[in-house]
Amino acid sequence: MPTAVPLARRAFLARIGILGAALGGGGLLTRSLLNPADAATNPLLPPTVDLLRPVLAALARDTMNGLTVFCQPGPDAYSRTQGTVSKTPGAMESGATNFIIESLDNFVPFPDALAQPIGAAMVTGLADTGIVLPGLELLPPQLRQLDKALAALLQSDEALPLSLPIAMLLNLMATQVNPLAVNGPHLSPFARLTYAEKASAFELIEKTDADLVALLDVQFPEPLKESVSGLLKFVGGALIEFGTFGAYSEYAVFDPKTRKLKGRPVSWQLSGYQPDGPVEGWDDFIGYYQGRTEVHD
């Protein structure tokens, strides 16, 4: 019989979203699945890890849905939860979630050197985050296995996509802003926030002396210490900036093979940009200011 996971640890797993995604009401793993599976794909890792990977990917995607509708709200369920539902198409239609996941996962050419340690630091170093969450003491002992599987994955040399620790970071901040976000619709605590709460989560991330970021630094040896906090400061801003760029670009309808568009991009529909598609030129030449075509000293 596995020993129960300490309360603070449970709270942490709940806060980064993993607990809920795996075991919560709409969780992706039924509890029985957490009993040892048959054959592991990676013999060095506990078999539960195989079950965990898709959960983590789904959690990351769900969190990023919460992010991209923050950048560009639309008619979807995430925008509704956020309280900014609108009739016109938004991030779900403009493919912004795929865009941001792709961007994060390819952001550094050395993910194993970065995503791995950030993820590990978060999970091993920030467990006791000091927020009491209701109801966690009732969680099943199988939680222990989930935690072990997560720790094993993070400590292995399996490449971890950067979108995962970034999603965990957003979720951690989300539950700091609103502890009740550990439960509710969607998989991710961040996706459960209102627009204003999401903004407050970003406020925490962007604070120049962000406590969390400072805490993370402690987990790294010199000279990487400041690089990790610096990177997170950059990513904090970039999540909004690039999420927005992607949402307003042609990303979703661009066919790289033909280098043509398969439809009209969401942002073009919204903004009226080039109503008849790409041009060779415009008839916008009025003349020269004050008729002057050259100047000299």
Positions 77 through 136 that interact with another protein (CB under 8 A): 84, 86, 88, 90, 99, 103, 106-110, 113-114
Nearest alpha carbon to residue 66 among 81, 53, 52, 55? 81
Footprint of another protein on 207-266 (CB under 8 A): 207-208, 223-224, 226-227, 229-231, 233-234, 236-238, 240-242, 244-251, 254, 256, 259, 261, 265
Kindly state the DSSP code that residue 6 receives in the 8-state scheme: P
Question: How many CB atoms within 10 Å of residue 151?
Answer: 15
- 42 touching another protein, by CB under 8 A: no
**Is residue 279 a contact residue for another protein (CB under 8 A)?**
yes
Among 123, 164, 202, 217, binds another protein (CB under 8 A): 202
Cα(188)–Cα(186) distance, integer angstroms? 6
**How far from 206 is each of 151, 194, 232, 265, CA to CA, in Å?**
27, 18, 9, 31
Cα first-last separation, the chain: 89
- The amino acid sitting at 277 is G
Q: Least distance to another protein from the beta carbon of 98, Å?
A: 12
User: Would you count residue 33 as binding another protein (CB under 8 A)?
Assistant: no
**Residue type present at position 293:** T
Of the two residues 39 and 288, which places its CB atom closer to another protein in the complex? Answer: 288
Collapsed DSSP state (helix, strand, coil) of residue 267:
helix
* 185 interacts with another protein by CB under 8 A: no
Token pair, residue 228, equals 């990790």
Which of residues 22 and 231 has its CB atom nearest to another protein in the complex? Answer: 231
Least separation in angstroms between CB 259 and another protein: 5
Q: Footprint of another protein on residues 61-80 (CB under 8 A)?
A: 70-73
